[in-house]
Amino acid sequence: MNVILKAARIIDPENKFHNQVADIKISNGIIEEIGSNIGSAEGFKEITVPNLHVSKGWFDTSVSLGEPGFEDRETIANGLQTAARSGFTGIALQPNTFPVLDNQSQINFVKQKAAGFATSLYPIGALTKNSDGTDLAELFDMKNAGAIAFGDYGKSLDNANLLKVSLQYAQDFNGLIIAFSQDNTIKGKGMVHEGIASTQLGLKGIPSLAEELIIARNLFILEYTGGKLHIPTLSSAKSVELIAAAKAKGLQVTCSVAVHNLVLNDTAIEGFDTRYKVLPPLRSEEDRKALLAGVLDNTIDCITADHNPIDIEHKKMEFDFAKYGTIGLESAFSALQTVLPTPVIVAKLTSGKAIFGLGKNNIAEGQQADITLFDPEGESVFTLENIHSKSKNSAFLGMKTTGKVIGIYNQGKLVLS
């Protein structure tokens, strides 16, 4: 589709047009012209929206969709449409499907299902066969099929040697290893953050130590092996300190934080609402503030919605038995706007592409258009009408948010929210 974005404020510090208002003319998916008062042209659709802002397309580093196997939770088709309407031009698909994405044919399957959509899908291959933590999966074959990284979603490797071997092996093809960090023996039967709220509610707690011990272990292994390691969804203040120290040593480590861990704390669980049962858990207000500080000082590289649709049968039940997870694509931007400046949000929603080796998309003449459209102003309440996912397990329902997504332009397609 050919479009002209009228009077768009460009948010991109690396761009000469940064913070300037300009028109952007896009022809057949390529940015043809950026300038003032670009005239109407036959065959071009003009997008005129009050307070229109644009940035490089947002990329989410952790999205679960269910298909294959859990289509009742979400399908690839609806998930990609949801991502597009939420401002994301690219997503990294987690391998927690049935069967697990642990071989070349499964990677090919999800890529074929994702063809033709405005939002690009980049699969993450499972690190171990069936994500059971026993034997390494077919990493090199999956890399050749299009897998951008390797990790077992929401599962920590108990076998430290397996992480060591995977980091050594992946260096042969510049592979990125993802290591979710949680000591399962310390977690035990814990479900929420170990603190005042868990004690008052009588819920078994997960101490921050469960995360921090494994992060420390994994960083020691990385220092020994070399290679590239991504530690997803930090949740504690000490975890941020560990990452900062590792980066100061020059280790090739990156990390992310989930939107809900930046916006909410463990007091949210006081009503026993399972929408707030997530992993890692919502932690203390002190931890939340430390995570925000880690984002602002760039210790934390990127922010993810950690979008995880769960069907109502596995979510609306007793807290002990409900599955972990919240959807987050639709609410990510507007929720973040309540705690962080817009330029920081944009930076952390676009930095993931470089981490996962996908290059940069620039807003410049002659470049392929990969753009997110949004308005950072205006308050609203996040309701069920804002949810496009098949599953409705959002931790942000009823929350006052700021700003809104207008749409995306990518793959030659315009999608408006």
Q: Which residue has the tokens 């940064």?
A: 18
- Nearest in space to 129 (alpha carbons), one of 104, 102, 156, 107: 102
**Number of other residues whose CB lies within 10 A of the CB of residue 398:** 10
SS (H, E, C) the chain: CCEEEEEEEECCCCCCCCCCEEEEEEECCEEEEEECCCCCCCCCEEECCCCCEEEECEEEEEECCCCCCCCCCCCHHHHHHHHHHCCEEEEEECCCCCCCCCCHHHHHHHHHHCCCCCCEEEECECCEHHHCCCCECCHHHHHHHCCCCECCCCCCCCCHHHHHHHHHHHHHHCCEEECCCCCHHHHCCCCEECCHHHHHHCCCEECCHHHHHHHHHHHHHHHHHCCEEEECCCCCHHHHHHHHHHHHCCCCEEEEEEHHHHHCCHHHHHHCCHHHCCCCCCCCHHHHHHHHHHHHCCCCCEEECCECCCCHHHCCCCCCCCCCCEECCCCHHHHHCCCCCHHHHHHHHHCHHHHCCCCCCCCCCCCECCEEEEEEEEEEECCHHHCCCCCCCECCCCCEEEEEEEEEEECCEEEEC
Nearest-CA neighbor of 63 among 44, 84, 49, 42?
84
Known catalytic residues are 306
Tokens of 45: 């659709």
Residue 266 · residue 282 · CB < 8 Å: yes
Are β-strands 88-93 and 120-123 bridged in parallel, bridged antiparallel, or unpaired? parallel
**207 cis-preceded (ω within 30 degrees of 0):** no
Contact 249, 219 (CB under 8 A): no
Q: What are phi and psi of 174, to 5 degrees?
A: 60, 40
